Amino acid sequence: MGNIVAIVGRPNVGKSTFFNRLIQRREAIVDSVSGVTRDRHYGKSDWNGQKFSLIDTGGYVKGSDDIFEAEIDKQVELAIDEADAIIFMVDVESGVTPMDEEVANLLRKVKKPVLLAVNKVDNNKRLENAVEFYSLGLGEYFPIASTNGSGTGDLLDALVEALPETEAEEETELPRFAVVGRPNAGKSSFINALIGEERYIVTDIAGTTRDSMDTRYNRFGFEFNLVDTAGIRRKSKVKENLEFYSVMRSVRAIENCDVCLLVLDATRGFDGQVQNIFWLAHRNHKGIVILVNKWDLVDKETNTLKDYEAMIRREIEPFTDVPIVFISVLTKQRVFKAIETAVKVFENRSRKIKTRQLNDIMLPIIEKNPPPAYKGKYVKIKFCTQLPTPHPQFAFFCNLPQYVRDPYKRFIENKLRKEFDFQGVPVTIYFRKK
């Protein structure tokens, strides 16, 4: 289980540059797989072997120049709530501003590690000027220049030093399902419809992560842990008007689960925020089930179920092999079907295919439809195997892996899905030299 690090600070101090610098090494590897780079404000990084998730809070505020203090306060409060450590970024060019002082006031009360990074320190004069940031009362500061990376090493050393020890996950064999989605889509109601009055069947495991309840669920012959992000600390102060909140809330739940049940409100459609959460789950290689809630409220003349489903599949291309279940938590319609589907997706995600069976099925398909010649070169695929990872990844060994293009990778992926049923699960395919 990784730690979450939030970067806070007012606009234009260089948070994004710093963020991109930290995640680029990994991101380049992670994202090239499916070409999905939807959400540039969340990424994974590591330093000295210590992995952590990074969230750039600045990327979630619209109209960032005339930003109101209230917005920044909200971001900082949320970061204080949700993150394990906070990097507070200021910039030496503009010196200490009233807004910086405001943020520092909030951060001084925090029990978590707060690291003050003074950005744009790229010459000695500026190094001297940085001294004034002692006045923020946050102790030592780290002079950095996020454009060329100077000073970031010291900052990261201090960061991983300060991060709490991550407890090893208790190895439970039980699948973990996370219920995610934007506010008011019906997540809590879905969980209540599941657990309902039968609360006594449920044993609450005291929050294994400090912010989402794990509920042991055992009914209809299924047993699993339900990671509930829905009922977390509803702060009246925080009007949930920013995409940022539901994304940040979802990050930890998604990283720590096997299957995400993405609940969306049929009357609002598959909007940007829901897509953000969808790609977040996809990028973490989690199983996904899309639950369309409040279907009973949709005007049926214009929207048939088929059209609605087709609309969602268009939005999630190229990863369209995802189950979509129409539910109504009010009438409890298909709530059981939703869980059944999640269990099925969990099985798909854990499926291990014997190498011999894989080759017996895939090689004849490849022989019939070999990769198209590229620059007059023919790719010959000799052998394939599934890698021993928690989610499905396959290696295909061939003479010229660099000549296999994306459309052919997709063709192979679709065949794998068809032959072995990976519905709802991201599949990664590598072509390697034997």
Residues comprising the binding site for GTP? 9-16, 56-60, 119-122, 181-188, 228-232, 293-296
Q: Judging by beta carbons within 10 Å of its beta carbon (0-12, 13-18, 19+), is residue 356 exposed, middle or buried?
A: exposed
State both tokens at 121.
């320190």
Cα separations (Å) of 137 from 86, 103, 104, 115, 156?
A: 15, 11, 8, 12, 21
CA distance 298 to 312: 15
HSE-CB for 166 with a 13 A CA cutoff: 15
Which residues, 6+ apart, have CB-to-CB distance to 3 below 8 Å? 52, 53, 84, 85, 163, 164, 166
Annotated binding site: 9-16, 56-60, 119-122, 181-188, 228-232, 293-296
Measured between alpha carbons, how far apart are the two ends of the chain, in Å?
34
Burial class (CB in 10 A: 0-12, 13-18, 19+), 169: exposed
Contacts 24+ apart (CB under 8 A), 210-213: 211/81, 211/82, 211/252, 212/178, 212/252, 212/253, 212/256
Residue 184 phi/psi, 5-degree rounding, is 65, 20
Q: Which residue reads 């892996």 in tokens?
A: 401
Q: How far is residue 132 CA from its own chain's centroid?
A: 37
